[in-house]
Chains A and B, each alone.
Chain A
Amino acid sequence: MNKVSLRSILSQLLLLLFVIIWILPTFGLFISSLRDKDLLAISGWWSALTTTNVNEIYRMQGMDEQNQADNYFIITDNLFKKNSGKKIETFGITSKKINEFKVGEVAIFKDKSTVTVNEDGLYIWKSENEFTKKKGKRLFITASSPPSFTFDNYKEVLFQEGIGQAFVNTIAVALPSTLIPLIICSYFAYALTWMQFFGRDTLLAIIIASLVVPLQMSLIPILTIYNDFGALFGVAAKSYPGVWMAHTGFGLASTTFLLRNFIKSLPNEMMEAAKVDGASHYDIFLRIIIPLSIPAFASIFILQFLWCWNDLLVGLVFLDQVPSEIILTAKLKELLGSRGENWEILTTGAFVSMTVPLFIFFALQRYFIRGLVAGSVKG
């Protein structure tokens, strides 16, 4: 008994370890996307979860903000943004001694001006002489910072960085690229299963072979076709319909294969009953196969949709990398190259690109898994 429970505890711990390792990267990204962008680049995301001490440098306001009262020139402001929740513990006025003064103490600059800093970031900088510098002096503070999160990054990324547009573009790519093969392949799979025609078995073998043909095999010839086609008819070689058809082509084999397996599993006698009832193939397809295949459609829809949503290569090759056409993954890759240090854009952009897949994942996990288990092999 003891031995059993020990083993169970050990296996629980092991599993927990796996879970932590697997969730940590995504979790980190999520937290990062909610952090203040300035903090993002100077401290690890994990520090955002607890109250931490941070050393920061601020510059006080310059001469434009000064007021005069009781023979003193005063500049006063708050170092922090509103509701930052930070609490200052010590501060300094030179980079060598950043912890020289406690909160509330008075620090004296070389020019005899004095400054006091409150815990909440409010400072009062007093001088008998008028301030004459455009820029204020620097303050070095040590503050305790509670966890704080913001949606600012999302606002910025969605509306200024073009991620919002890329999001729409991605939908415009993924939705037809999923539905078109689903429509075409359901007829195809039906014909392969229930219609008699010459070459059916060969066609099936070709489908099975195509399942694993890497899409790299198709890239160059298809790009050539598109270019020729575009030149011939004076239209853009790279366009949405082009991507749809490319995705349809690359998803055709696996969609057909999965659908055929499903349709084949429907009872034979039911089709025959319908035939005897006077149904044509089209009647059977519309009124019997389609309604009964809804769960299979759901699974395949999810697989293909995620594939198209997450694809980079096809979108890169068959679409122009311009704002009106660029898809999320390509946009992200672009940002990775050009804005590699702007972590707030990267993390938030990545998370935006993951929203739809994650939503589908959590809402429709059952169908997703069913589709995968049905033996998905993608070419």
Chain B
Amino acid sequence: MADININTVNKYYGDVHVIKDVSLDIKSQSFTVLVGPSGCGKSTMLRMIAGLEDINSGTISIDGQVVNDLPPKQRNIAMVFQSYALYPHMTVFDNMAFGLKLEKRSKDEINERVQEAARILQIEDYLHRKPKQLSGGQRQRVAIGRAITRKPKVFLFDEPLSNLDAALRVQMRVELAKLHDQLNATMIYVTHDQTEAMTLANDIVVLDEGIVSQNGSPMDLYHDPNNLFVGGFIGSPKMNFISTKITSKSSDKTEVDLMGSAKISIPKTSASASEGDAVQLGIRPEHLTVNADSDGSWESKVFVVEKLGSGTFLYLEKEGEPLVVETEGDSNIKVGDTVKVGFSASHCHLFDSSQQAFK
């Protein structure tokens, strides 16, 4: 229905350069998630697509039409805000009908569309209430309902779930995924919660200080982070990083020092790397196994044990660098124990001094 093309867009607030040469192609009917740490420019990106913020240079086009100068109402989009932004003096029905009334739709059509949206979101019983009389989750549904009734080509969500408690967030997440299937619309979704990003997205765009760090499917980002930032950002708990050095390099492998005498040979290379370079070795906690010998291994003392029932996190320390291990089930390892953790070379990531990943 609607492709969105963003072409070398820049945005300044006064002297502050918040969006730097961002180019993106968002495919029709995809669910694209913008993630990144706080202040990286996610909301700004979204608001530029919505038309709420001017663009300093570059172009944004929807369905091939450049929309830089179009006001929001002519872009055929709908937006759901973090604070819901419901109109407090209107009932739920009027909130959802507001856009339609402005389009001067007929009464019947308005009624029909609002009822339909209410049915999808299961808020039919609250239509006569004011926003004040609703719970946070219900308000969020109304905010989404307000977007749905207008049948836009593009839905924009700015951290819609961040004001909800954890359980509700999971529930709404599922419903949003369902909604996307039902509506077949393009959705762009901003969050700084990487779990939401991983579960909802067809496509994740990682923003870092106004630059697109990486853009791809969730699994691409998980398995093949382009750089240290994406590696660290995607995945929970965070990827472990260990500073080390390249000891030797071949055409398809790079060997690095494993602190102590051991070395490990990782099947990734980088053209710019050379022997003796300092690099960061990255391994995800779930790829470390306790008391197993593999391509590489360390021995270390356990400082903290966190039991979650489904799994256990062990916090170790290696040469002053913290190391997290995720094991399955209830482990009987205690604080103070020394354990050996092993990992396979194929699970290792390498990042050079400019934080770029070895491929």
Cross-chain contact A278 with B103 (CB below 8 angstroms)? yes
From known contacts A277-B73, A277-B99, infer whether A270 and B87 are also in contact, taking CB-CB under 8 Å.
yes
Q: State the total of A-B contacts with C-beta under 8 angstroms.
A: 59
- On chain B, the residues within 8 Å of A278 by CB distance are 72-73, 99, 102-103, 150
Q: A277-B73, A277-B150 are in contact. Are A272 and B85 (CB under 8 A)?
A: yes
B89 lies within 8 A of A267 (CB)? no
B52 touches A277 (CB 8 A): no
Q: Which of B73-91 contact A (CB under 8 A)?
A: 73, 77-79, 81-83, 85-89
Chain A residue numbers with a CB within 8 Å of B245 are: none
Q: Is the CB of A273 within 8 A of B102?
A: no
Considering the chains assembled together, what is the distance between the CA atoms of A292 and B73 in angstroms?
A: 23
Interface contact A276-B87, CB-CB below 8 Å = no
Produce 1/0 per residue, A68-107, CB < 8 A to B: 0000000000000000000000000000000000000000
- Chain B 253-292: CB-based contact to A (< 8 A → 1; otherwise 0): 0000000000000000000000000000000000000000
Question: A276 touches which one: B73, B83, B89 (CB < 8 A)?
Answer: B73
- A360 proximal to B (CB < 8 A): no
Tell yes or no: A291 within 8 A of B by CB: yes
Question: Would you call B98 an interface residue if the criterion is a C-beta within 8 Å of the partner chain's C-beta atoms?
Answer: yes
Name which of A269, A273, A276, A283 has the most chain B CB atoms within 10 A of its CB.
A276
> How close is A223's CB to chain B, nearest CB, in angstroms?
44
Report the minimal beta-carbon distance from A263 to chain B, rounded to whole angstroms: 14
- Report the Cα distance A278→B76, complex, angstroms: 9
Question: Interface size on A (CB < 8 Å)?
Answer: 16
Given A272-B52, A275-B73, verify A288-B87 contact (CB < 8 Å).
yes
For the complex, what is the distance from the CA of A292 to the CA of B103, rounded to whole Å?
A: 22
Distance in angstroms between the alpha carbons of A292 and B89 in the assembled complex: 7
Contact B79 A273 (CB under 8 A): yes
Interfacial chain B residues near A276, Cβ < 8 Å: 50-52, 72-73, 77-79
- Give the contacting residue for A269; candidates B72, B73, B85, B103; CB below 8 A: B85
Whether, in the assembled complex, B153 has its beta carbon less than 8 Å from a beta carbon of chain A, the answer is no
Is the interface on chain B under 10, 10 to 19, 20 to 34, or 35 or more residues?
Answer: 20 to 34
A184 within 8 A of B: no
- 1/0 per residue, CB under 8 A from A, across B49-83: the answer is 01110000000000000000001110001110111
Minimal beta-carbon separation of B158 from chain A (angstroms): 9
CA distance A208 to B78 in the complex (A): 38
CA distance A267 to B83 in the complex (A): 9
Q: A279 near B: Cβ within 8 Å?
A: yes
Neighbouring B residues of A272 by C-beta, 8 Å: 47, 50, 52, 79, 81, 85
- In Å, the complex CA distance between A288 and B89 comes to 8
Q: Are A291 and B89 in contact (CB under 8 A)?
A: yes
Quick one: CB contact mask for A87-131 with B, threshold 8 Å, 1 for yes?
A: 000000000000000000000000000000000000000000000
Task: List the A residue with the shortest CB-CB distance to B47.
Answer: A272
A374 within 8 A of B: no
A54 located at the interface, meaning its Cβ lies under 8 Å from any Cβ of chain B in the complex: no
- In angstroms, Cα B88 to Cα A275, docked, is 16
Q: Which residues of A contact B78 (CB under 8 A)?
A: 276-277
- Asked if B42 is at the interface of the complex by the 8 Å CB criterion, the answer is no
Chain A CB within 10 Å, residue with most, of B50, B51, B72: B72
Residue among A270, A277, A278 with the most chain B CB within 10 A?
A277
A39 interface residue, CB < 8 Å from B? no
> Whole-angstrom distance between the alpha carbons of A275 and B146 in the complex?
13
A175 to chain B, nearest CB (A): 26
Q: Of B88, B102, B150, which one neighbours A279 at CB under 8 angstroms?
A: B102
Q: For residue A291, which residues in chain B have a CB less than 8 angstroms away from its CB?
A: 89
- Bound CA–CA A174/B85 (angstroms): 38
Task: Assess whether A274 is interfacial by the CB under 8 Å rule.
Answer: yes
Asked if A269 and B99 make an inter-chain contact with CB atoms under 8 angstroms apart, the answer reads no
Q: Considering only CB atoms, which chain A residue lies closest to B103 in the complex?
A: A278
Q: What sequence of 0s and 1s flags, for each residue 282-294 of chain A, a beta carbon within 8 Å of any chain B beta carbon?
A: 0100011001100
Chain B CB within 10 Å, residue with most, of A270, A273, A278, A288 = A273
Contact A267 B102 (CB under 8 A): no
Cα distance, A206 to B98, chains bound together (Å)? 36
In whole angstroms, how far apart are the Cα atoms of A319 and B218 in the complex? 77
B146 contacts A273, C-beta separation under 8 Å: yes
Cβ contacts under 8 Å, B81 to chain A = 269, 272-273
Kindly identify which residue among A273, A279, A287 contacts B85, using a CB–CB cutoff of 8 Å: A273
Interface string of A310-346 (1 = CB under 8 A from B): 0000000000000000000000000000000000000
A274 with B71: CB separation less than 8 A: no
A292: which of B50, B52, B88 is its contact (CB, 8 Å)?
B88
By the criterion CB–CB under 8 Å, are B71 and A270 in contact? no
A275-B72, A277-B98 given; A269·B83 CB < 8 A: yes
Interface residues of B in 83-124 (CB under 8 A from A): 83, 85-89, 98-99, 102-103
| Most B-side CB within 10 Å, residue of A272, A278, A291, A292 | A278
28 contacts between A and B (CB under 8 A): A269-B81, A269-B83, A269-B85, A270-B85, A270-B87, A272-B81, A272-B85, A274-B87, A274-B98, A275-B51, A275-B52, A275-B71, A275-B72, A276-B50, A276-B51, A276-B72, A276-B73, A276-B77, A277-B73, A277-B78, A277-B98, A277-B99, A277-B102, A277-B150, A278-B102, A278-B150, A279-B73, A291-B89
Q: Which residues of A contact B (CB under 8 A)?
A: 267, 269-270, 272-279, 283, 287-288, 291-292
Closest CB pairs A-B (n = 10): A278-B73, A277-B99, A269-B85, A273-B85, A269-B81, A291-B89, A270-B85, A276-B72, A278-B102, A276-B79
Interface contacts beyond A277-B78, A277-B102, A288-B89: sample of 19 additional A-B pairs, CB < 8 Å, sorted by A: A267-B83, A269-B83, A270-B86, A270-B87, A272-B79, A273-B87, A273-B146, A274-B87, A275-B52, A275-B71, A276-B51, A276-B52, A276-B72, A276-B79, A277-B73, A278-B73, A278-B99, A278-B102, A278-B103
